[in-house]
Amino acid sequence: METAIATFIAIICGGLLNMAAAVWAEHRRRARLKLSIETPLPDIPLQVVSPTGRFAGVFRVVRVHVSNDPQGFFDRWMRSPALQCRAIISFHNISDGKEIFGRAMQGRWSRALQPTPIPVVDGNGNIVLHVLDPEKMGIDSRIDIYPGDSELLDIAVRFQGDQDCYGWNNETFFKQPIGKNPDWLLGKDRFLVKIVINSTGQRCEGVFRLVNDGPQNSFRLDKADAAETVRVKAAST
């Protein structure tokens, strides 16, 4: 009898240990996404031809790194990729955390193809109209991030000589002038930005402070403090 009981207990303990090991391994395999601010900030020249003529300018862009961050040596081969990552960005008042536009902006991955309109020319080579390809509006709006890798996510831009800044995503390429989307126009002030990354079976989010109340070289993202983060989360519920 004692032998049978001991065998039964050993079987139960072995099963529990196997279950614990499987749970631990699955936890270690899961992608772990992390958000961090890009530094230094790049100033990028933009020169495009639009239906109303040539538009050229230099803009400063603020972006975040979205990284699949291994926690140790073994995680680099155990960790799974974060598949089909999709970013949702919302802009909030810094005073009360409420959404400014009443809706969120679909994020754009920086290395995604630019969904530029297709020009249609007449017999003389003049551009008469641009054809918008709806399928390109969402091209590469989802991306896979592998262990140890990171991807840049566009947030907002400010053009040299302007005081306003604009949210930046694929919609921007279908507005005129390109780069200044009136649907995501933000004035001269400070704002809070909530970024949510949805991947297969998981979610990562962060809150940042968008600083646009000074000269061009002070346009930047800062990490939001605890009170600002609470305000945004409270207003979002």
Each residue's pLDDT tens digit, 25-76: 444 456 789 999 999 887 877 665 444 545 557 889 999 999 998 665 545 5
> Which residue range is the domain that position 175 belongs to?
31-236
Q: Are residues 117 and 192 in the same domain?
A: yes
Share of the chain above pLDDT 70, in %: 68
Q: Are residues 19 and 102 in the same domain?
A: no
Q: Are residues 38 and 67 in the same domain?
A: yes
Q: Are residues 86 and 6 in the same domain?
A: no
Q: Are residues 21 and 130 in the same domain?
A: no
CA 184/CA 26 separation, integer angstroms: 40
Q: Are residues 51 and 163 in the same domain?
A: yes
Q: Are residues 48 and 116 in the same domain?
A: yes
Domain total in the chain = 2
What pLDDT is recorded for position 65? 96
Q: Are residues 19 and 83 in the same domain?
A: no
Q: Are residues 195 and 138 in the same domain?
A: yes
Q: Are residues 16 and 78 in the same domain?
A: no
Q: Are residues 18 and 128 in the same domain?
A: no
Better pLDDT: 162 or 76: 162
Q: Residue 18 has which token pair? A: 């196997």
Q: Residue 173 has which token pair? A: 């390429």
User: Dihedral (C-alpha) 6, 11, 14, 15: value to the nearest 10 degrees?
Assistant: -150
Q: What is the mean pLDDT of the chain?
A: 80
Q: Are residues 22 and 67 in the same domain?
A: no
pTM for this entry: 0.76
CA 210/CA 35 separation, integer angstroms: 15
